[in-house]
Amino acid sequence: MGISLGLIGYPAKHSLSPWIHQRFMETAKIKGSYNIFEIAPDEFDKEVKNLKTMDLQGFNVTVPFKQKIIPYLDQLDPDAKRTGAVNTVIDHDGKWIGYNTDGKGYIRSLKSAYPEVISDDKRVLILGAGGAARGIYRALVTENMKQVDIANRTISKANLLLELGERTTETFIFTMEEAKEKLRDYDLIIQTTNVGMKPNSKEQPIPLTTLKKGTVVSDIVYQPLQTAFLQDAKSHGGFTHMGHTMLLYQAQYAFELWTNQKVEVELMDRELEQRLK
Ligand code: ATR
């Protein structure tokens, strides 16, 4: 029979998670299934209670339920609590424990491509202050990064992220306009807004005209794979880090929480790229 995993979300049926976790199960030689539970938002309460009666080892949570799931949990991991969002639930003898694997997954994906950039002497700029930025900011703080700045269209939203930090991390908040002029100061720039998330989009949150050569430029958008932002980074001598790798590593960490097995994802990277093309 094997293990039983799944995903709740709406919409969810085009998710790549079933493919990723099936591949993990094959690699780890674990029998099991990963099913999509597409839940209409107004049926959430009923369907989640129904899920509790099922014999699942765990499940992923995607939009729009990452916050809505929290009252149904028996326990919350401190990082998930701090970021206020859960994307992975473990069923431990009928008790649900909530985690957020996005931030740590992001760090893992970055470390696999550019290990030297996660170091406390490097300066980081995050563009955006939404849900994705929260997880990444928190994970960078947890990695003891000392200088992590945030630029966002709405300044008040960026200020909210500060509560996720520690006093050991220095953070300045900028508008996008201000950030444009400061790119030279950074070793790593992380694009977390949804600008550019459309097939063939030419949009990007800021132009990278003043980028310093050798800066690592990361975009968490993976559809399209080569965003206008990453193309701009390349044309100015930046090193690029693509968004689909975060998808793989957040899944790797979730799978590890469910099964205690860490599967290698390097070989799946190209395969996922092909699927997204
Ligand atoms: P996610 O969970 O994907 O991060 P979100 O919480 O809705 O989504 O956050 C979206 C982010 O993209 C925010 O930083 C948002 O900026 P605001 O806080 O000013 O709304 C940013 N964003 C979305 N559309 C944008 C645009 N056209 N220009 C600049 N920033 C944009």
Number of domains in the chain: 2
| CA 5/CA 99 separation, integer angstroms | 15
| Average pLDDT, rounded, for the chain | 96
What pLDDT is stored for residue 165 in this prediction? 76
Catalytic site includes residue 95: no
| CA 205/CA 228 separation, integer angstroms | 10
Choose the residue to mutate in 150, 153, 160, 195 for probing ligand 1, maximizing ligand atoms within 8 Å of C-beta: 153
Q: Do 141 and 172 sit in the same domain of this protein? A: yes
What pLDDT is stored for residue 168 in this prediction? 84
| Averaged pLDDT, 87-105 | 97
Q: Do 237 and 120 sit in the same domain of this protein? A: yes
CATH number for the domain that contains residue 265: 3.40.50.10860
Report if pTM > 0.90: yes
Q: Do 193 and 136 sit in the same domain of this protein? A: yes
Q: Do 238 and 251 sit in the same domain of this protein? A: no
Q: Do 128 and 146 sit in the same domain of this protein? A: yes
Residue with the smallest CA separation from ligand 1 atom 18 is: 154
Instruction: Give tens-digit pLDDT for 237-261.
Output: 999 999 999 999 999 999 999 999 9
194 Cβ closer than 6 Å to some ligand 1 atom: yes
Residues whose CB is less than 8 angstroms from the CB of residue 38 and which lie 6 or more positions away in sequence, other chains included: 8, 9, 10, 11, 12, 13
Residue with the smallest CA separation from ligand 1 atom 9 is: 130
Catalytic residue among 13, 66, 122, 277: 66
pLDDT exceeds 80 at position 1: no
What pLDDT is stored for residue 277 in this prediction? 86
pLDDT exceeds 90 at position 164: no
Q: Do 216 and 272 sit in the same domain of this protein? A: no
- The complex scores an ipTM of 0.97
Indicate if the alpha-carbon torsion angle 213, 214, 215, 218 is positive or negative: positive
Q: Please write down the HEC assignment for all residues of the chain.
A: CCEEEEEEECCCCCCCHHHHHHHHHHHHCCCEEEEEEECCHHHHHHHHHHHHCCCCCEEEECCCCCCCCHHHCCEECHHHHHHCCCCEEEEECCEEEEECCHHHHHHHHHHHHCHHHCCCCCEEEEECCCHHHHHHHHHHHHCCCCEEEEECCCHHHHHHHHHHCCCCCECCEECHHHHHCCHHHCCEEEECCCCCCCCCCCCCCCCCCCCCCCCEEEECCCCCCCCHHHHHHHHCCCEEECCHHHHHHHHHHHHHHHHCCCCCCHHHHHHHHHHHC
161 Cβ closer than 6 Å to some ligand 1 atom: no
Q: Do 203 and 131 sit in the same domain of this protein? A: yes
| CA 273/CA 55 separation, integer angstroms | 33
Q: Do 36 and 62 sit in the same domain of this protein? A: yes
pLDDT exceeds 80 at position 166: no
Q: Do 115 and 208 sit in the same domain of this protein? A: yes
132 Cβ closer than 6 Å to some ligand 1 atom: yes
17 is in an annotated binding site: yes
**Which structural domain, as residue segments, surrounds residue 73?**
3-100+245-276
| CA 156/CA 271 separation, integer angstroms | 40
